[in-house]
Amino acid sequence: MKILLVGASGTLGRAVAAELGARHDIVTAARGGGGVRMDLADASSIASALATVGMVDAIVSAAGHVAFAPMLEMTDAQWQLGLDEKLMGQVRLALLGVPHLRDGGSITLVTGVLSTEPIRLGASAALVNGALEAFVRSAAVELPRGLRINAVSPGVLVESMDAYAPFFRGFEPVTAARAALGFARSVEGADTGKTYRIA
């Protein structure tokens, strides 16, 4: 398969590239580099990157930022970061990607454990992740041509614990390689409308 992988330069993205790249042709995209430049917060950037890549069998996203801060102290800009990039960026990627997918192709988005396991300072991530999972369930009902859509919801990554440990006390981290298996299930499997929880 020819797979467009967005967020390929990040910790999770590199693991997904290693997992799927063993069997498929990966076209990488990232805001700061990669094979194709793409900024999820910019619809025109997404459209331009998709036009450059052409037809693919799968679109995979391992990208999106959110702010971690006390809920009652968060600024509009902090809320907007997660809404513009991780939520609507991935929704736009899915919607704009449909014409670039071959019949029977798939879309895989990334959410995260905070959709079901809230923590202090994580309200933005919980909001965005939960909304993405609801979108995936709904989009699966409407996608044409046998297209599929799923989400992967990994726990906090082992490789990211240096930065995120204070937020995730008591959580058992998962390796990026283990999280990448959820993306393989989505791309190479038959499910649609599902969220794979990797814990």
Task: Express each pLDDT in 122-166 by its tens digit.
Answer: 999 999 999 999 999 999 999 999 999 999 999 999 999 999 999
Distance separating alpha carbons of residues 70 and 167, to the nearest angstrom = 11
Domains defined along the chain, listed by start: 2-198 (3.40.50.720)
User: What pTM was computed for the model?
Assistant: 0.97
The residues pairing with 195 across neighbouring beta strands, listed in sequence order, are 151
What are the percentages of helix, strand and coil residues in the chain, rounded to 5?
50, 20, 30
Distance separating alpha carbons of residues 196 and 33, to the nearest angstrom = 28
Strand order in the sheet with 101-110: 36-37, 25-30, 2-6, 56-61, 101-110, 148-154, 195-198
Task: Express each pLDDT in 84-111 by its tens digit.
Answer: 999 999 999 999 999 999 999 999 999 9
